[in-house]
């Protein structure tokens, strides 16, 4: 996999777009099975830093491509789903480009609307456009944080039932700002308190700040629907080992979490490849010499779940009497740990090999995984801890 030329120098946008594309495809195909109308809102749409006129390297082009694909896919399955998309953009020049692009689109089956103005001021109009009932996916991808990610700013949207959110949380900015006096009130509005991170390592700071924000997001409960569930995935600086932002995903469905984390697990590989290529390009530019081996063929390992830790996590959750582990339980574990299902599967497999745990439903079946969480109508399989 080579990163398209138009993403060079902004490889993090490629990673973000890959996640958006992979997840939206899965999401719309699932939601389209039982809802007749699906809405998509890009609250900070751009186009921004686009490398080509067809906008295929922007969230606008990507979302519309996926919507079209899902609409056709669902139609073939006998489901006639109506898709509607709303794009918000403040910058006049970008908005003009957006309007021209939408007007020139050949596929008119998907209705599109564009509004110009400030997201903060337009929140009510956005909610009016959504109406009260249709499933709506909100993509919130700002350049900064002010009047965007504060809990009070997002609350009217978060309270809307039947909605999901993908929020770009500008971690790098917040890391720099959170301890400065100048930004204390802003931080209180975002985190609900002034985060105290003295004495923490960079990794601990990141975990603390992101978890604090996720906790605040979860406190806003919509009028109907299940409890909010939130996970986040870090997007790193392409050539330096540092987090640029977190993509935060909020849903009210356990299944949403498992599907999003599946998309993120695939993204992990994309991100490693992308960064290896960006680093190689940087080295080559510096030395003026092409390297013998392509980084597309070789990727260094990046930080991953510690297998010993994942095993302990399992042992903590299992008991000596059989418990069913289904999609709800998987979502709980993914949410709490921020690991991938692959990490949990591998650890369970090792524990089973060591004779410490057992899947009581595994006997005599051909298995592709150690635990089939989606079995028995998502109620899962019975697992037991064998050791005391
Ligand atoms: C990070 S870019 C969006 C990139 C786009 N989502 C993508 O992935 O291709 C943020 C966009 O939001 C616009 N913008 C900035 N502040 C805004 C605001 N307050 N309300 C609406 N749009 C805003 C910027 O002009 C810019 O086009």
110: pLDDT strictly greater than 90: yes
150-180 pLDDT per residue, tens: 999 999 999 999 999 999 999 999 999 999 9
Question: Would 300 be classed as within a structural domain?
Answer: no
CA of 42 to the centre of ligand 1 (A): 9
- Residues 252 and 367 both lie in one domain: no
What would the DSSP string read from start to end of 25-57?
Answer: HHHHHHHTTT-SEEEEEETT----S-SSTT-TT
Q: 218, 219, 194, 221: which is closest to 208 by C-alpha?
A: 194
pLDDT(1) > 80: no
Same domain assignment for residues 260 and 365: no
The percentage of the chain sitting over the pLDDT mark of 90, rounded to a whole number, equals 74
Same domain assignment for residues 31 and 108: yes
| Lowest model confidence (mean pLDDT) among 133-147, 205-219, 220-234 | 220-234
190 with 327, same domain?
A: no
pLDDT the model gives residue 227 = 86
Task: Clarify whether residues 113 and 210 are in a common domain.
Answer: yes
Same domain, 341 and 262: no
Q: Does residue 124 belong to any structural domain of this protein?
A: yes
Q: Are residues 270 and 327 in the same domain?
A: no
Atom of ligand 1 nearest to the CA of 118: 20
Return the ligand 1 atom nearest residue 122 CA. 20
Contact of 74 with 88, CB cutoff 8 Å? no
Which two structure tokens, joined as six digits, stand for 329?
A: 């339980």
Question: Using an 8 Å Cβ cutoff, are 96 and 125 in contact?
Answer: no
Domain stop point among 238, 259, 278: 278
Q: Which of 264, 230, 245 is nearest to 154 (CA)?
A: 230
Percent of the chain whose pLDDT exceeds 70: 95
Question: Given this model, what pLDDT does residue 299 score?
Answer: 44
Encode burial over 187-206: b for 16+ CB neighbours within 10 A, e otherwise: bebbbbeebebeeeeeeebb
Confidence of residue 21 (pLDDT cuts 50, 70, 90): very high
Q: Is residue 298 part of a domain?
A: no
pLDDT at 294: 55
Mean pLDDT for 317-337 is 96
DSSP string, 356-383: SEEETT-TTS--SSS--TTHHHHT-EEE
Q: pLDDT category, 322, cuts 50, 70, 90?
A: very high
CATH number of the domain encompassing residue 127: 3.40.50
Would you give the DSSP letter of residue 385?
E
| In a shared domain, residues 341 and 265 | no
Say if residue 128 is in the same domain as residue 254: yes
Q: Are residues 24 and 124 both part of a single domain?
A: yes
- In short, whether 94's Cβ falls inside 6 Å of ligand 1 is yes
More reliable by pLDDT, 278 or 319: 319
pLDDT of residue 254: 94
297: CA distance to ligand 1 center in Å?
A: 35
pTM here is: 0.92
192 shares its domain with 326: no
Burial class (CB in 10 A: 0-12, 13-18, 19+), 362: middle
Q: What is the pLDDT of residues 49-66, one digit of tens each?
A: 888 888 999 999 999 999
CA of 189 to the centre of ligand 1 (A): 21
Q: Note the pLDDT of residue 298.
A: 44
Asked if residue 285 belongs to a domain, the reply is: no
Residue 265 CA to ligand 1 centre (angstroms) = 27
Q: What angle do CA 175, 246, 372 make, to 5 degrees?
A: 140
DSSP 139-198: EE--SS-TTTTSHHHHHHHHTSSSEEEEEEE-HHHHHHHTT-GGGHHHHHHHHSS----T
- Please count the structural domains in the chain: 2
Residue nearest to atom 26 of ligand 1 (CA): 46
| Torsional sign, CA 72, 73, 78, 80 | negative
Question: At which of 228, 262, 278 does a domain end?
Answer: 278
Q: Tell me the pLDDT of the chain averaged across its residues.
A: 91
Taking residues 124-150, what's their average pLDDT? 96
Query: Could you tell me if 174 and 319 lie in one domain?
Result: no
Contacts of 358 (CB under 8 A, 6+ apart): 352, 383, 384, 386
In this predicted model, what pLDDT tens digit does every residue of 269-304 receive, in sequence order? Answer: 778 877 778 777 777 777 777 665 555 444 444 556
Q: Which of 42, 46, 247 to mutate to test the pocket of ligand 1 (most atoms within 8 A of CB)?
A: 46
Across residues 82-110, what is the average pLDDT?
94
pLDDT of residue 383: 97
Q: Residue 273 domain-assigned?
A: yes
Please say if the pLDDT value at position 344 is more than 60. Answer: yes
CATH of the domain at 311: 1.10.10
Nearest to 60 by CA among 28, 101, 96: 101
- How many other β-carbons are positioned within 10 Å of the β-carbon of residue 66? 22
Q: Is residue 364's pLDDT more than 80? A: no
Is the distance from the beta carbon of residue 359 to the nearest atom of ligand 1 less than 6 Å?
A: no
Instruction: Enumerate residues 6+ apart whose C-beta is below 8 A from 31.
Output: 38, 135
Residue 290 within a domain: no
Beta 111-116 vs 135-140: how paired, if at all?
unpaired
pLDDT tens for each residue of 112-128: 999 999 999 999 999 99
Does residue 284 fall inside a structural domain?
A: no
Q: What is the pLDDT of residue 302?
A: 54
Is 211 contained in some domain? yes
pLDDT at 207 over 80: yes
Which residue, 278, 298, 316, sits at the end of a domain?
278
Residue 323 structural domain: 307-385
Q: How much distance in Å is there from the Cα of 176 to the middle of ligand 1?
A: 21
């Amino acid at each position: 996999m080579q990163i398209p030329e138009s993403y060079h120098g902004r490889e993090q946008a490629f990673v973000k777009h890959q996640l958006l594309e992979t997840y939206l495809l899965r999401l719309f195909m699932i939601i389209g099975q039982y809802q007749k109308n699906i809405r998509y809102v890009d609250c900070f749409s751009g186009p921004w830093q686009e490398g080509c006129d067809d906008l295929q390297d922007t969230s606008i082009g990507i979302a519309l491509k996926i919507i079209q694909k899902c609409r056709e896919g669902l139609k073939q399955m006998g489901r006639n789903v109506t898709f509607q998309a709303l794009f918000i953009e403040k910058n006049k020049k970008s908005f003009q480009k957006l309007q021209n692009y939408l007007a020139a689109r050949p596929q008119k089956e998907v209705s599109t609307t564009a509004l110009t103005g400030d997201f903060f001021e337009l929140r009510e109009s956005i909610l009016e456009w959504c109406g009260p009932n249709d499933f709506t996916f909100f993509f919130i991808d700002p350049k900064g944080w002010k009047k965007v990610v504060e809990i009070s700013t997002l609350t009217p949207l978060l309270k809307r039932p039947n909605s999901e959110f993908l929020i770009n949380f500008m971690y790098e900015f917040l890391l720099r700002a959170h301890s400065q006096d100048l930004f204390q009130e802003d931080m209180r509005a975002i985190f609900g308190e002034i985060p105290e991170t003295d004495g923490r390592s960079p990794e601990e700071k990141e975990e603390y700040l992101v978890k604090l924000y996720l906790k605040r997001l979860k406190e806003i409960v919509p009028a109907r629907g299940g409890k909010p569930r939130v996970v986040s995935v870090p997007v790193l600086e392409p050539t330096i080992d540092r987090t640029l932002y977190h993509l935060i995903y909020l849903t009210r469905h356990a299944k949403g979490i498992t599907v999003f984390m599946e998309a993120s697990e695939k993204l992990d590989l994309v991100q490693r490849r992308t960064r290896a290529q960006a680093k190689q390009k940087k080295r080559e530019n510096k030395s003026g010499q092409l390297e013998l081996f392509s980084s597309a063929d070789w990727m260094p390992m990046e930080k991953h779940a510690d297998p010993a830790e994942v095993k302990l996590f399992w042992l903590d959750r299992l008991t000596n009497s059989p418990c069913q582990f289904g999609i709800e339980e998987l979502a709980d574990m993914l949410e709490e740990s921020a690991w991938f299902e692959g990490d949990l599967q591998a650890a369970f497999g090792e524990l089973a090999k060591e004779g410490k745990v057992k899947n009581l439903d595994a006997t005599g079946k051909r298995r592709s995984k150690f635990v089939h969480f989606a079995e028995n109508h998502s109620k899962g399989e019975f697992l037991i801890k064998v050791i005391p």
